[in-house]
């Protein structure tokens, strides 16, 4: 059996409710929800994303050939997935996805004719629709009135759906021979890591988490998103189970130990310059002490263990040092100030593991699953990380079931959905006004073919949109559209993932606009036509909205990369130099009510 495919049935054996909520179209969206993110300047695990560094962000991105759009309508998958709700009447009340599936039993394309990929309509209507329906009930939110943000209520509601992991350690095979721990851990965002080991001679690595919740979340997420590093598809499996060391367990429980060390009161500026420039702040604990550099810090600390990465904040006078194991960090905290006089008066304690950072997309998905407003998603991570991981895990499992039931195992992790049979005069704006499942990376309309390809940021969002549209239909201008899977999108690039985690979207917010003064001019500057002309230099503009009472407007692009480019370059225009420019909220990510 295919290794990756064999994992899915065990994961999706969790009970899936059959009370599916309908997909509701919303042509008249609420623009007031499109406020700009207020936390763009927050640090992400001590690694801030600079929205002005677009060229750096996309430089060196691996171009996946799978991101090219299909131009032939005959190649789309799932043409027959229509009017599926008529097959739902005989669905049992307690729907389970059987964990005894074999690879050959997983639904897959059964026929082809003249290059057209499609599925057997008769078989699909009763089997695959059931799988999609059951999975859709797990991937969509539960009734809000049955849940609150109270962690105990949420835990009890989901306890029966919990799936356990066989180990805290995840195996990764077929890794690049030159892969470093830092490069590997850039792809991990599921929990606190105890240790990472890389065996280049065997082209494999092992990541041990503190708890099984985190390992299970990373394991399922890596399979769903088809983890790819430097162009190599990574094999995912389980490592040998092992107990947590008593020393580590005690330090974690009593001191909050992680593999990240914070060192404060460092001299990160030249003290001599401080005499001539009052604006220069001296952070050292002693006068004229050596200036701290990454090279010096690495040399002083590498004796305690392998180092993942180092980040020095010169303007603040502190640094974060991530080791590849918690045990190494414990040794530093216990011994560094006594063994090295330079650090005798420094502040040394544990920081947050950068791999324990739950992205905004993950929080949004979990909030949607639990029926909680996205504004309260942060409270989930603070009050019950296990609950958050469980919600994300079940969504990943359901998304995997939906993707593979319709497109076979190769469709796992696909983020692109095909829409066909569109009205003749349909606009991209009309389509975006109807989508309410997740943030979009790109949307491409081929008007002459009456088709559209929608690529979401997250495969969970794509699976939810596909499932609900297949079951309840996707209607534009009273016309039922075809819904299927597009050509596989490939995984979201790591730089773009980082950008999205820090608030990037395809929506650009422009604030502090004086509409009154602009109205007195002979030719108004802030008009739809003029702004569309200006911002079209960076890419195709989908929609522009004005909020005159708030002195702001929103420019929505069809591609998130265009929005990042616009924010990076629009400040060069003198008119926008003193205006507030930031990312707004993608309305397609709003939860449908």
pLDDT above 70: residue 58: no
Helix axes 151-158, 385-407, angle to 10 degrees: 40
Q: What is the pLDDT of residue 4?
A: 36
* pLDDT above 70: percentage of residues in the chain: 62
Total domains, the chain: 1
319, two tokens: 């640094």
Q: Identify which of 393, 389, 383, 385 has the alpha carbon closest to the alpha carbon of residue 150.
A: 383
Please tell me whether residue 80 adopts helix, strand or coil conformation.
coil
Q: What is the pLDDT of residue 538?
A: 97
pLDDT above 50: residue 540: yes
Residue with tokens 């230099």: 537
Task: Please report whether residue 337 resides in a domain.
Answer: yes
Least confident stretch, 61-70, 183-192, 468-477? 61-70
**Alpha-carbon span 210 to 215, nearest angstrom:** 8
Q: What is the pLDDT of residue 214?
A: 86
Q: What is the pLDDT of residues 412-460, one digit of tens each?
A: 889 999 999 999 999 999 999 999 888 999 999 999 999 999 999 988 8
Confidence of residue 225 (pLDDT cuts 50, 70, 90): confident
> Residues in the chain, how many?
593
CATH of the domain at 263: 3.30.70.330
Task: Please report whether residue 60 resides in a domain.
Answer: no
**Alpha-carbon span 203 to 107, nearest angstrom:** 32
By the 10 Å C-beta count (0-12 exposed, 13-18 middle, 19+ buried), 574 is classed as exposed
pLDDT above 50: residue 33: no
Q: What is the pLDDT of residue 394?
A: 74
CB 69 within 8 A of CB 486: yes
366 versus 183: which is more confidently predicted? 183
Confidence of residue 361 (pLDDT cuts 50, 70, 90): low
Helix (H) / strand (E) element for 463: namely helix 459-472
Least confident stretch, 22-26, 515-519, 538-542? 22-26
Q: What is the pLDDT of residue 360?
A: 66
What's the average model confidence in pLDDT over 127-136? Answer: 48
Task: Please report whether residue 467 resides in a domain.
Answer: no
Q: What is the pLDDT of residues 106-125, one digit of tens each?
A: 233 323 232 333 333 333 33
Owning domain of residue 263: 259-351
Instruction: Please count the other Cβ atoms lying within 10 Å of the Cβ belonging to residue 408.
Output: 19
Least confident stretch, 135-139, 309-313, 405-409? 135-139
Task: Please report whether residue 264 resides in a domain.
Answer: yes
273 versus 385: which is more confidently predicted? 385
* pLDDT above 90: percentage of residues in the chain: 45
Confidence of residue 560 (pLDDT cuts 50, 70, 90): very high
**Alpha-carbon span 186 to 142, nearest angstrom:** 32
Q: What is the pLDDT of residues 326-348, one digit of tens each?
A: 999 999 999 999 999 999 989 99
pTM higher than the cut 0.75: no
Q: Identify which of 228, 221, 178 has the alpha carbon closest to the alpha carbon of residue 198.
A: 178
Task: Please report whether residue 153 resides in a domain.
Answer: no
Task: Please report whether residue 304 resides in a domain.
Answer: yes
pLDDT above 80: residue 56: no
What's the average model confidence in pLDDT over 587-592? Answer: 80
Q: What is the pLDDT of residue 179?
A: 95
The string over 303-329, giving b where at least 16 C-beta atoms fall within 10 Å of a residue's C-beta and e elsewhere, is ebbebbbbbbbbeebbbbbbbbbbbbb
First-residue to last-residue Cα distance in the chain? 41
What residues contact residue 3 under an 8 Å CB cut-off, 6+ apart? Answer: 235, 236, 237
Q: Identify which of 298, 296, 346 has the alpha carbon closest to the alpha carbon of residue 322.
A: 298
Task: Please report whether residue 429 resides in a domain.
Answer: no
Q: What is the pLDDT of residue 525?
A: 95
304, two tokens: 């305690």
Task: Please report whether residue 325 resides in a domain.
Answer: yes
pLDDT above 80: residue 515: yes
551, two tokens: 């002195």
The string over 192-203, giving b where at least 16 C-beta atoms fall within 10 Å of a residue's C-beta and e elsewhere, is bbbbbebeeeeb
pLDDT above 80: residue 505: yes
What's the average model confidence in pLDDT over 151-168? Answer: 46
**Alpha-carbon span 458 to 369, nearest angstrom:** 14
Q: What is the pLDDT of residues 376-385, one digit of tens each?
A: 555 555 555 5
Radius of gyration from C-alpha coordinates of the chain: 26
């Amino acid at each position: 059996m295919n290794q990756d495919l064999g994992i899915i049935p065990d994961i999706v054996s969790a009970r899936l409710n059959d009370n599916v909520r309908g997909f509701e179209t919303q042509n008249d969206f609420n623009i007031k929800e499109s406020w700009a993110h207020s936390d763009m300047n927050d640090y992400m695990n001590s690694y801030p994303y600079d929205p002005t560094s677009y060229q750096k962000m996309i430089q060196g991105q691996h171009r996946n050939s799978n991101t090219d759009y299909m131009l032939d309508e005959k190649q789309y998958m799932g043409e027959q997935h229509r009017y599926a709700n008529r097959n739902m009447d005989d669905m049992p009340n307690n729907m389970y996805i059987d964990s005894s599936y074999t690879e050959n039993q997983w639904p897959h394309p059964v026929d082809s004719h003249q290059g057209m990929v499609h599925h057997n309509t008769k078989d699909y209507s009763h089997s695959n629709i059931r799988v999609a329906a059951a999975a859709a009930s797990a991937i969509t939110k539960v009734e809000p009135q049955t849940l609150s943000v109270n962690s105990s209520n949420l835990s009890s509601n989901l306890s029966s759906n919990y799936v356990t992991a066989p180990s805290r350690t995840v195996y990764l095979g077929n890794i690049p021979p030159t892969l470093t721990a830092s490069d590997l851990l850039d792809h991990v965002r599921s929990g606190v890591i105890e240790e990472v080991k890389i065996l280049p001679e065997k082209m494999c690595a092992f990541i041990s988490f503190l708890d099984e919740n985190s390992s299970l979340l990373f394991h399922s997420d890596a399979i769903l998103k088809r983890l790819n590093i430097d162009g190599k598809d990574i094999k995912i499996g389980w490592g040998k189970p092992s107990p947590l060391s008593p020393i580590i367990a005690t330090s974690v429980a009593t001191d909050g130990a992680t593999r990240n060390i914070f060192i404060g009161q460092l001299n990160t500026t030249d003290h001599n310059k401080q005499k001539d420039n009052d604006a220069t702040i001296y952070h050292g604990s002693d006068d004229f002490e050596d200036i701290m550099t990454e090279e010096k810090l690495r040399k002083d600390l590498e004796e305690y263990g392998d180092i993942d990465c180092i980040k020095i904040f010169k303007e603040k006078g502190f640094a974060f040092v991530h080791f590849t194991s918690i045990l190494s960090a414990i040794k530093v905290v216990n011994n560094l100030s006594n063994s090295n006089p330079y650090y005798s008066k420094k502040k040394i304690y544990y920081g947050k593991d950068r791999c324990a950072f739950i992205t905004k997309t993950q929080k949004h998905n979990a909030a949607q699953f639990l029926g909680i407003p996205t504004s309260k998603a942060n409270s989930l991570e603070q009050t019950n990380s296990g609950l958050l991981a469980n919600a994300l895990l079940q969504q990943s499992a359901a998304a995997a079931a939906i993707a593979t039931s319709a497109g076979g195992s190769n469709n796992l992790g696909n983020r692109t959905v095909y829409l066909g049979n569109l009205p003749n005069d349909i606009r991209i704006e009309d389509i975006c006004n109807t989508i309410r499942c997740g943030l979009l990376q790109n949307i491409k309309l081929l008007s002459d073919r009456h088709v559209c390809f929608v690529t979401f940021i997250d495969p969970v969002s794509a699976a939810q949109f596909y499932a609900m549209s297949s079951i309840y239909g996707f209607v534009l201008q009273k016309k039922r559209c075809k819904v299927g899977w597009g050509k596989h999108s490939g995984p979201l690039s790591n730089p773009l993932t980082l950008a999205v985690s820090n608030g990037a979207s395809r929506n650009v917010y422009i604030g502090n606009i004086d509409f009154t003064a602009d109205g007195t001019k002979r030719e108004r500057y802030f008009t739809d036509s003029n702004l569309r002309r200006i911002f079209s230099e960076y890419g195709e503009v989908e929609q522009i909205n004005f909020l005159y009472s708030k002195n702001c407007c929103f420019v929505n692009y069809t591609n998130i990369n265009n929005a990042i480019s616009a924010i990076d370059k629009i400040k060069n225009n003198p008119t926008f130099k003193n205006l507030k420019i930031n990312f707004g909220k993608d309305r397609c990510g709003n939860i449908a009510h």
